[in-house]
Amino acid sequence: MSIKLYDETSYKISDVITRSYSTSFSLAIRSFGKEMQNSIAAVYGLVRIADEIVDTFHDKDKISLLHTLRKDTFESIEKKISINPVLHSFQLTVNEYSIPHDYIESFFESMKMDIYSNYYDRENYDKYVYGSAEVVGLMCLKIFCHGNDRLFEELKEPARALGSAFQKVNFLRDIKNDLSERKRIYLPGAENSTFINQKNKQLLEEEIEKEFSIALSGIKRLPDKSCIAVYSAYQYYYKLFEKIKKLEVEDLFLNRISVSNYTKVFLLLKNTVRLKLSLFV
């Protein structure tokens, strides 16, 4: 029996994690080819485990767990093997697509910031968003471009903008849970709930709008195999963003805003048809 079976099983485990934790993301990546689908799920699998450590393991030693995960991650990349299936699928992806290690390091730095910090000044806020979201977009772009370094360099800024926009929409959507469950605020300069008002909500929305615009310019240039999924995710988040913009900041403390699964499926199917008819974006 070859290691191929272990490789395939490891990817499947990362895919199970993706489907369990993110309906929208798992729906979107179904339009990728199998190899790309596996690799994107492998990235998400690692990200999800780290998120779980900092967001839900409240009665555990988070620092120790995160340190172990980081150490094991880089060790698996170096040795090209791990007995942890999620890390094994991740190292396969990192080594296959030459994902820079500094992206991974920045990601872990942001996860560590989540353990120590409950609010951020502007400099640390930007650092956190880069490590928690923008580098994930860059990792995915490495997979989408599959060795086309010129295209990767051309699309780096749109990929960063898309990751940042997604993360900031999440910040607004999750204000209620972040405050009540994690005692965190993801608005630059906000030290507690009294700093969250309509003015700084609108300022953040202006940032997000600009980033969505930059991101869309890059999405149009992605290879067809990834274009459908990324554009569908873009549309899903933009619809979520439009719902949030219509609300007063006080409304965000009452309910978590969402987009229905029906809408997610509809967007994916619509974009698939549009691409086949050459009507995309």
SS (H, E, C) 138-175: HHHHHHHHCCCHHHHHHHHHHHHHHHHHHHHHHHHHCH
pLDDT digits (tens, 9 = 90+) for 226-235: 888 888 888 8
Q: Are 135 and 103 in contact (CB under 8 A)?
A: yes
DSSP state of 257: -
Provide the pLDDT for residue 100.
97
Give pLDDT, residue 271: 52
CA gap 43, 46 in Å, rounded: 6
With b meaning 16 or more CB within 10 Å and e meaning fewer, what string describes 227-251? bbbbbbbbbbbbebbeebeeeebee
Q: Which two three-digit tokens encode residue 189? A: 């300069």
What residues have CB less than 8 Å from 198, skipping those under 6 apart? 248, 249
Cβ atoms of residues 187 and 196 within 8 Å? yes
φ, ψ (nearest 5 deg) of residue 190: -85, 120
Tell me how far apart the alpha carbons of residues 96 and 79 are, in angstroms, rounded to a whole number. 14
DSSP 194: G
Q: How far apart are CA 162 and CA 217, in angstroms?
A: 10
Instruction: Assess whether pLDDT exceeds 50 at residue 265.
Output: no
| CA R_g for the chain | 19
- The whole-angstrom separation of Cα 97 and Cα 57 is 31
Task: Please write the tens of the pLDDT for every residue from 122-179.
Answer: 889 899 999 999 999 999 999 999 999 999 999 999 999 999 999 999 888 888 777 7
- pLDDT recorded at residue 190: 60
Is residue 193 over pLDDT 70?
Answer: no
**Predicted confidence (pLDDT) per residue in 23-82, tens digit:** 766 666 666 777 888 999 999 999 999 999 998 998 999 999 999 999 999 999 999 999
pLDDT of residue 205: 93
Q: What is the mean pLDDT of residues 4-21?
A: 94
pTM: 0.88
Pick the CATH number of 4-276 from 1.10.600.10, 3.20.20.10, 3.20.20.120, 1.20.140.10: 1.10.600.10
Residue 119 pLDDT level (bands cut at 50, 70, 90): confident
